[in-house]
Chains A and B, each alone.
Chain A
Amino acid sequence: MPPSGAFSQFIVSAMPDLAIIIPSVLNGLTTGALYALVALGLTLIYGVLHIINFAHGALLMLGLYAVYYLNTRFGIDPYVCLLIVPPVMFALGYVLQRGIIGRASHGRDENILLVTLGLSIVIENLALFFFKSDTRIIDTPYSFEVIQILGAFVPEPKVFAFLGAFVTAGLLWALMTFTDLGRAIRALAKERKGATLVGINADHVYAMSFGLGIACLGVAACLLLPSYYVSPQVGQGFVLIAFTIVVLGGMGSFVGALIGGLFIGVVEALSGLFLGESLGQIGIFAIFILVLIFRPTGLLGHKV
């Protein structure tokens, strides 16, 4: 997260040196890994279904609340929640795609965007009603442990999240490459008619892909909460950031999402350092707009 406004004002006036930049970059990389996790689900869904899931942030928020309540009510460690939350999120995603989103397109991509926008509004405001607008954090024994890297101190949960992002990306890649489900998903992504002809149940596999994308959010939620907070609006901040990463890395590319996530994390940290916290967010949107306008297939994507 970027440093406070007053602090960065000071930085702007003084010549920034490595002692400030290195921790900031490390911070950006660990935050970026979490962004990458959120973006992985989005890029998977886009790559297969060719739809943009606007409810992604709202669903992440649901995952965070799940981890929060499992931890505070039942004392379950957030990392143990990895066994519970992602499967539940998977089921939720499957049902959403099969029951609502899959039926909405009527031949226009914008309709999907509208429906997922509607879903995100409903989910967020129901959360506001049930959970109230308080910002909540959890307390774990390792919340304040730090690890020293290159002379900078990085909180332990952020290091775990960083590693977790790569493990998740690796698992997804393995699933897509070696399993029957992965083959079916790839076949469907490439050529729907052909895939259906050889006996792939398109509706089922689409819903499985959507479920997998949402399960990624479950993983992200478990890794995120020890070093972050949850509130009903928490997902909003992630939505455009995740879109930026997906567009930057090329829609549908896992490697692109990872690199894009890390890049955006660093950009956010550095622009927060140099521009101040509130103006610093503009860096991300500026990148988003520029990439969408000049290279909508992404920096790593192919020209269509």
Chain B
Amino acid sequence: MRTLIILAAVFAALALVPLFVVSDVWLNIAIMVLYSALLGQAWNMLGGYGGQFSFGHAAFFGTGAYTVAVLQVQYGINPWVGLFAGGLAAVVVAAIIGYSTFRYGLKGSYFALVTLAFAEVLRILSNSVPITGAGVGLLIPLQVAPSNLQFADKGSYYWLVWAMALAAFLVAWWIGNSRFGAQLMAVRDNEDAARALGVRAYSVKLRAIMLSGFFSGLGGVFYAQYFLYLDPHIAYGASVSIESLLVPIIGGIGTLFGPLLGAIVLHAISEFSRDLIGDIPGISLVLYGTLLVVMVLFLPRGLAGLLIRRKAAPQTPKKTEAEHA
């Protein structure tokens, strides 16, 4: 309950940001922080609480983004409808990936690679079929109106992504405090033991990937409405998948505030480095990669691991040699 109050206080404070920050540049950074936190929390539901590391969250993100864009551009359907359709389409993709992988007991590195391959298949498909505009991409026509999910001021976009992030963090809190979450974490820590106690590992993981997919899809919807442009590389490319996993890894996977902390730190570092060395293409990715290596090497439990060191966090049991083979 105490965490829920802290969560409410943090998001209440975050809601006030547009009232005090007038500079569009800073507001844009704040938007991108919440957007990263949303993607990171979505990944965290499956990767952090569930222990299933996905390398292909772009599959969900891109599906959400393309759904809202295609519905608008090709069928003239209102993006508010597209918002939910995008989330649901991502859930369907998540269910397909979850069904085909968890059903056959794929986990660890295999699961990571299969999710990556799914994202690649979707990228190639979206690059080939006319409905997504193929390689040219899709440009959402500029029609600024709240009924159109397009806003003239950055403040409204901020509140949109704030609301999405709030929903994601509430669900993450619920995972951390519910029977379902306890089962999910039991599967993460020791699947065999959890099954022996009657946890239906397959269905628990399947629900986790669907929740994760939904919020990743919402992130995609937000991206499409904010930037009004999509192409296969943006939607299904590797950078979204990388950002999704990097944010919780920096902040602390399997923790409620890890993704927010990670998003803030990530953007602070990348803005700082941009000021320091200028806007060289690819340099932010060099930074992301370095951060990933450094975090996994020295702080595998993220920054949150530093803060809650005195609380003995559950350690994943070291694998025996037999399990490796």
The segment from B68-76, B83-91, B166-174, B314-322 found at the interface with A is B314-322
- Is A160's beta carbon under 8 Å from chain B? no
A293 and B316 form a contact (CB under 8 A): no
Report how far A296 CA is from B282 CA in the complex, Å: 35
Report how far A243 CA is from B115 CA in the complex, Å: 13
**Minimum Cβ distance to chain A for residue B278 (Å):** 12
B292 and A114 form a contact (CB under 8 A): yes
**Minimum Cβ distance to chain B for residue A132 (Å):** 10
Which A residue's beta carbon lies closest to that of B290? A122
A279 cross-chain contacts in B, Cβ below 8 A? 124-125, 128
Report how far A150 CA is from B280 CA in the complex, Å: 51
Bitwise, B124-136 to A at CB < 8 A (1) or not (0) is 1101100000010
A129 cross-chain contacts in B, Cβ below 8 A? 280-283, 286
B109 and A52 form a contact (CB under 8 A): yes
A125 and B289 form a contact (CB under 8 A): yes
Count contacts between A and B, CB distance < 8 Å: 131
Report how far A141 CA is from B297 CA in the complex, Å: 47
- Is B4's beta carbon under 8 Å from chain A? no
- Is A171's beta carbon under 8 Å from chain B? no
The segment from A11-19, A60-68, A259-267, A281-289 found at the interface with B is A281-289
B293 and A118 form a contact (CB under 8 A): yes
**Minimum Cβ distance to chain B for residue A148 (Å):** 34
Known: A110-B53, A113-B112, A129-B282. A278 touches B127 (CB 8 A): yes
Known: A115-B293, A129-B282, A129-B286. A289 touches B117 (CB 8 A): yes
Please indicate which of the listed interface residues B125, B292, B296 has the most CB atoms of chain A within 10 Å of its own CB: B296
Bitwise, A267-296 to B at CB < 8 A (1) or not (0) is 000000000101101100110110011101
- Is B300's beta carbon under 8 Å from chain A? yes
**Minimum Cβ distance to chain A for residue B15 (Å):** 33
Which A residue's beta carbon lies closest to that of B101? A293
Which A residue's beta carbon lies closest to that of B135? A278
B283 and A50 form a contact (CB under 8 A): no
Known: A125-B286, A296-B106. A119 touches B293 (CB 8 A): yes
B114 and A293 form a contact (CB under 8 A): yes
Known: A107-B317, A128-B281. A118 touches B289 (CB 8 A): yes
Partner of B319, one of A107, A115, A125, A126: A107
B286 and A121 form a contact (CB under 8 A): yes
In B219-246, the 8 Å CB interface with A consists of: 242, 245
Report how far A118 CA is from B249 CA in the complex, Å: 12
- Is A193's beta carbon under 8 Å from chain B? yes
Known: A128-B281, A279-B124, A285-B124. A292 touches B106 (CB 8 A): yes
- Is A71's beta carbon under 8 Å from chain B? no
- Is A304's beta carbon under 8 Å from chain B? yes
B113 cross-chain contacts in A, Cβ below 8 A? 52, 240, 243, 288, 292
B242 cross-chain contacts in A, Cβ below 8 A? 117, 121
A285 and B289 form a contact (CB under 8 A): no
Which A residue's beta carbon lies closest to that of B115? A289
- Is A73's beta carbon under 8 Å from chain B? no
**Minimum Cβ distance to chain B for residue A183 (Å):** 18
A111 and B117 form a contact (CB under 8 A): no
Partner of A293, one of B104, B289, B291: B104
A125 and B128 form a contact (CB under 8 A): no
In A119-162, the 8 Å CB interface with B consists of: 119-122, 124-126, 128-129
A121 and B285 form a contact (CB under 8 A): yes
- Is B26's beta carbon under 8 Å from chain A? no
Report how far A111 CA is from B249 CA in the complex, Å: 10
A113 cross-chain contacts in B, Cβ below 8 A? 53, 55, 109, 112
Known: A117-B55, A294-B104. A278 touches B124 (CB 8 A): yes
- Is A109's beta carbon under 8 Å from chain B? yes
- Is A106's beta carbon under 8 Å from chain B? yes
B290 and A118 form a contact (CB under 8 A): yes
- Is B143's beta carbon under 8 Å from chain A? no
Report how far A52 CA is from B128 CA in the complex, Å: 30
A125 and B321 form a contact (CB under 8 A): no
Which B residue's beta carbon lies closest to that of A52? B109
In B91-122, the 8 Å CB interface with A consists of: 100-101, 104, 106, 108-110, 112-114, 116-118, 120-121
Subset of 28 A-B contacts with CB under 8 Å:
A50-B325, A109-B109, A110-B108, A113-B53, A113-B112, A118-B290, A118-B293, A119-B289, A119-B293, A121-B286, A121-B288, A121-B289, A128-B281, A128-B282, A192-B321, A240-B113, A243-B113, A278-B127, A278-B128, A281-B124, A285-B124, A286-B121, A289-B118, A292-B114, A293-B100, A293-B101, A293-B114, A296-B110
- Known interface pairs A118-B290, A282-B121; 19 further A-B residue pairs with C-beta atoms within 8 A, sorted by A's residue number: A50-B325, A104-B293, A108-B108, A115-B293, A118-B288, A118-B292, A120-B289, A125-B283, A125-B286, A276-B128, A278-B127, A278-B128, A279-B124, A281-B124, A282-B124, A292-B106, A292-B110, A293-B101, A293-B104
Interface residues of A (CB under 8 A from B): 50-52, 100, 103-104, 106-115, 117-122, 124-126, 128-129, 191-193, 240, 243, 276, 278-279, 281-282, 285-286, 288-289, 292-294, 296, 304
Q: Which 9 A-B pairs have the closest CB atoms?
A: A121-B289, A118-B292, A122-B289, A125-B282, A118-B293, A107-B318, A128-B282, A110-B53, A125-B285
